[in-house]
Amino acid sequence: MLTQLAAATGVLTLLTLVPGPDMAIVTRRAVSRGRADGLRTVGGIAAGLLLWGALTVAGLAALLAASAEVYLVVKLAGAAYLCFLGVQSLRRPGGGPEGDPDGAGNDGGSGSAWRTGLVSNALNPKIAVFYTGLLPTLAPQGLRPAAGMALLVLVHVLLTLLWLSAYVYVLSHARRFFTRPRVRRAMDRVTGVVLIGFGVRVATSAT
C-alpha cells in the first residue's frame, strides 16, 4: 500500500506543479497585495479542493460530472469568474496600496483573498472530473474506496498548500522588485491576459 501511495503522490505532485489558474490568481494577489494576501488566497484554494474532495467522497461530484447541463453551467460560471478577475487586473494595473514591508496588505479585507481562492476552485468542474476520474485509479488497495480517495484528496491539498505557499514566499523575497510601479503594472497586465486566457480555455473546452 505504501508503494501505491508513493506512486499516487508522485502523480499528484506533477499535476500540482503544472501552472494553471490557481498560480495566476496567487501571483496577482501576492504581487499586488503582499505575502499575507497571497497566503490567504492559497488557503481559499485549498478550501475549494477540500470542498470538491468532500463532494467526491460523498458521490455528488460524480453526479455533476455525469450531468452535461449542470457541468456546463458550473464551467461557464467558472470561466466568467476567471475573466472577471482578468479584466480587473487589466482595468487597474498596479492599482491599490504599495503594500507593507511585512506583506500585510489586503484588498478589501482578509476574507476577500480567501474568497477569491475558494470561488475560483469551487467554480471549476474540472476538479470534479479529475477527482472522480483519476483518484479511484490511484487509490491504494487495502483501503475502502471512499477512504482511499479521501486520503489522496488530503495529499493533493497538502501538496497544493506547500507548493503555492512556497511560491508566495519566493514572490515576497523579490517584493522590492515587484512593487516598482512599472513592474507592477506589467505584471497585472500579463496576469490579466493569462486569467482571461484560462477563462476562455475553460469555456471552450470539451470537458
| pLDDT tens digits, one per residue of 12-25 | 998 899 888 899 89
Beta-carbon neighbour count of residue 190 at 10 Å? 16
Find, among 129, 144, 110, the residue nearest to 202 by Cα.
129
Give the residue-averaged pLDDT of 92-101. Answer: 51
Find, among 133, 120, 123, 147, the residue nearest to 66 by Cα.
133
Q: Is the pTM of this model over 0.85?
A: no
The pLDDT score that the predictor gives to residue 107 is: 42
Nine-digit cell string for 177: 522588485
Give the list of residues 6+ apart from residue 118 with CB closer than 8 angstroms, or none.
Answer: 44, 45, 47, 48, 51
Q: Is there a contact between 117 and 45 (Cβ–Cβ < 8 Å)?
A: yes
CA angle 202–204–184, rounded 5-degree value? 45
* Least confident window among 56-60, 102-106, 150-154: 102-106
